[in-house]
Amino acid sequence: MKILVINGPNLNLLGKRKPDMYGHRTPEEVEKFILKYFKEVELKFFQSNSEGEIIDQIQKADAAYDGIAINPGAFTHYSYAIRDAIESIRIPVAEVHLSNIAAREDFRHKSVIAPVCIGSVAGFGAYSYVIGIQALAHLIKRKSE
């Protein structure tokens, strides 16, 4: 099983960017942390600060992966283009966030991405990715049985 993990804008700055909010791990350390939990799932990581590149990856993933876990960063709150891309593919998508977006500024309370995802996980730091990927893998496996 192959799952693509997509990280959106400013998530390349993990470790330096608001560590009290997003944690002290660098992007490489977050990847290592996630990989520890998955022996049978093949994970590939992609990060971009550009909306178009993220959309290209989502479109391409449909033919190459079984599912996507995405942290769209601030695009979560306003990118109808990323939402449309997710709505256009057949593979399931899980939304993940490091912080609890429901407990933050008002503009972060709304996710335009959530309604086109299988489910969302937020607030558990890097462990949000682990939960999201685990749930996604469970669902993909169940569907193939």
Cα 23 to Cα 120: distance, rounded to the nearest angstrom: 19
Nearer to ligand DQA, 63 or 113 (CB): 113
Q: How far is the CB of 74 from ligand DQA (least distance, A)?
A: 4
Least separation in angstroms between CB 82 and ligand DQA:
12
Phi, psi (rounded to 5 degrees) for 119: -170, 170
- Is 97 tagged catalytic? yes
- Among the listed residues 24, 80, 97, 129, the single catalytic one is 97
Could you tell me the two tokens for 89?
């593919």
Residue placing its CB nearer to ligand DQA in the complex, 25 or 108: 108
Q: How far apart are CA 115 and CA 85, in angstroms?
A: 13
Could you give the residue numbers annotated as active site? 22, 97
